[in-house]
Structures are given as structure tokens and as C-alpha cells.
Amino acid sequence: MLEHFRGKDFLKLSDFTAEELSFVVDTAIDLKRKRAMRETYEPLRGKTVAMVFEKPSTRTRVSFQAGVAQLGGSTFYLRPDELQTSRGEPIKDTARVIDRYCDALFIRTFGQEIVEEFARWMNNPVINALTNEAHPCQGICDLMTIKEKKGNYQGLKIAYLGYPWNVGHSLMAASGLFGMHFAAAWPVTLEIDEHQVELAQRFASQSGGSITITHDAVEAITDADVVYGMSWKVMAGTPMPDEERLQLWKPFQVNAQLMGLAKPNAIFMHCLPGYRGEEMTDDVAESPQSVLWDQGENRMHTEKAILALFIK
């Protein structure tokens, strides 16, 4: 299947089949093994990857740059204010020039239409490092972490407590593709993109999974195999005053009492950054059930897999 990926874009998980995504995850697991054994593996030697980050980043930027270096390639960071697009140059012009200089583009931005536009005008791969709509790199990382900790996907229940945007969309699509039962909970005042729900439900109907959207944290987390916390800080949409935000989300905090409703061997995941005392308590984040640091490490291995597979 290796040649199947060469030169393709990686924009959202729903562009791929479960078989294709499984191959990416398995590649990441092998690269993690190689890293642990100090095996040299440099398929990107002589390759150059451009990075455009219009949103702040810790894990995505550091893991990506470290990953490219470990694969033998080189990266350089393009600040949005340094690009001529900030002064009105069309994306299609910037994209075609970057395409002549670099072997891939890694972009973290706002609208999904921006990464789609870069992909339209570039022959080399465009990798979505996060938009308001999707976070496919995080989705692959989550799949890898679940496989490592649970062994398989089919029939697992995932409780997701957080904003119904990029990470939620990607995890929901992955759940549908792999036959997992995705139960999401958030305040009744928030709205989700119905297209994203319908797409995941269509996947779930074919895989034996299910998609449940509720506004009851207890319903979502009861008997869950995986509990997924998410920051309450607004990453997209309209910000609200801190006091109002904290009050709105308080019933959805993953604390020891709520975590106790999940299965005894449930794992706790969070894409980070995480805020202790808000969406999760410190005792949950530091508990034996927490896999936050393995999950964080897996960002690098999964991004390496994407780069190694997709770059020509």
C-alpha cells in the first residue's frame, strides 16, 4: 500500500478508508519501535518541508520539526506576517511557488477552505496541522494511542467532553470508521456541524459503531472505555467571559467522581493544552488511567508516518 499514498494530501480523516488509516497507524507504531531501538531511518534525506502556522502551537510544531529531522529532512517556519498573503497575494500564487521550492507543506490555519486551496494549487502534499473544522494529525495520534492501550477499536465506547469542533470532528469520524461508539457531551447552547455528524453516522452504519450526541456528561461517560477531555477555552467561534464559560462547562469537568462512572480500566485522553481545575482535575490527569504523555509522544510518531508515506 506504500505507493498508494505517495503525493496525496492529508486534509481530513474522512478522505480515507479505515484500511488506509490503519496502515498509517501501523507505520507510526513501527517508527516508534525504530526510534526506541535507535534504528536510523531517513526516507526524507534531501527533502524540505515548509511550515505555515497561523495559530499558536506547542506539540504540533515541536513534534513535526523533530519528526522531520529524525527522518533526515529539513524544515523551515514561515510566519504569516512574513508571507505576501498577509498583503493580499492570492493563495494560489503562494502555493505554486512553495510547491517549486519544497516537497510538502504543513499548515495550521483557520478555515478548512484555506488548506483545500493550497492543496488545489500544489502538486506536492499538503498536510493539515489543524483547522477550525478538522485536526487529522491528532486523529491519527488518538487512533494509535487507543490501539496501543486497548489492542483494537471495534465496540469500544469513547466519551468525548468538549467543544464540538476540529478534534471532536476528527475523533467522531475515526470512531465511525472503526466501529467505535462515540458519545459526546457539551452544553445545550453549543451547536455542532450536522454534516460532520451525518458523515460519521454513515461510517458507523457500515462499521457497527454508533454516534450519540447528548448534553449529559453522565450519560456520555457511563461505561466508557476511553474518556476524552478537551479544553474549555474557545479555539473557534465567539469567546465568552471566563466566569460565564466556567459556569457553562462545570458539569462536564472530568473529575474523579465522573471518571468513576467509566469502566475500571478506562483510559483518560486529552489532546492538550490542558487546564487543571477546568476541563479536568489534577488527580485525573496524573492518575494511572491517564495516558496523556504517551498520547503526546505519539503525535511525533504519527506525523512521521504521514510524512514518510505521503511525501513523494
Q: Are residues 93 and 216 in the same domain?
A: no
Q: Are residues 128 and 142 in the same domain?
A: no
Q: Are residues 167 and 129 in the same domain?
A: no
> How does pLDDT run along the chain (312 residues), one tens digit per residue?
767 899 999 999 999 999 999 999 999 999 999 999 999 999 999 999 999 998 878 888 999 999 999 999 999 888 878 877 777 789 999 999 999 999 999 999 999 999 999 999 999 999 999 999 999 999 999 999 999 999 999 999 999 999 889 999 999 999 999 999 999 999 998 888 999 999 999 999 999 999 999 999 999 999 999 999 999 876 545 566 678 888 999 999 999 999 999 999 999 999 999 999 999 999 999 999 999 999 999 999 999 999 999 999
Q: Are residues 147 and 286 in the same domain?
A: yes
Q: Are residues 125 and 152 in the same domain?
A: no
Q: Which CATH number goes with the domain that contains 256? A: 3.40.50.1370
The predicted model scores a pTM of 0.95
Q: Are residues 147 and 112 in the same domain?
A: no
Q: Are residues 215 and 75 in the same domain?
A: no
Q: Give the residue numbers spanning the domain of 113.
A: 2-135+298-310
Range 153-156 contact pairs with CB under 8 angstroms and sequence separation of 24 or more? 153/178, 153/179, 153/180, 154/178, 154/179, 154/180, 154/207, 154/208, 155/179, 155/180, 155/181, 155/208, 156/180, 156/181, 156/225, 156/226
Quote the pLDDT of residue 82: 82
Structurally, how many domains does the chain consist of?
2
List b or e across 108-142, with b for residues whose CB sees 16 or more CB atoms inside 10 angstroms.
bbeebebbbbbbebbebbbbbbbbbbbbbbbbbbb
Quote the pLDDT of residue 17: 97
Q: Are residues 77 and 197 in the same domain?
A: no
Please report the DSSP string for 226-294 in residue order. EEEE---S-SSS----HHHHHHHHGGG-B-HHHHTTS-TT-EEEE-S---BTTTB-HHHHTSTTB-HHH
Quote the pLDDT of residue 235: 54
- From the number of C-beta atoms within 10 Å of its C-beta (0-12, 13-18, 19+), residue 48 rates as middle
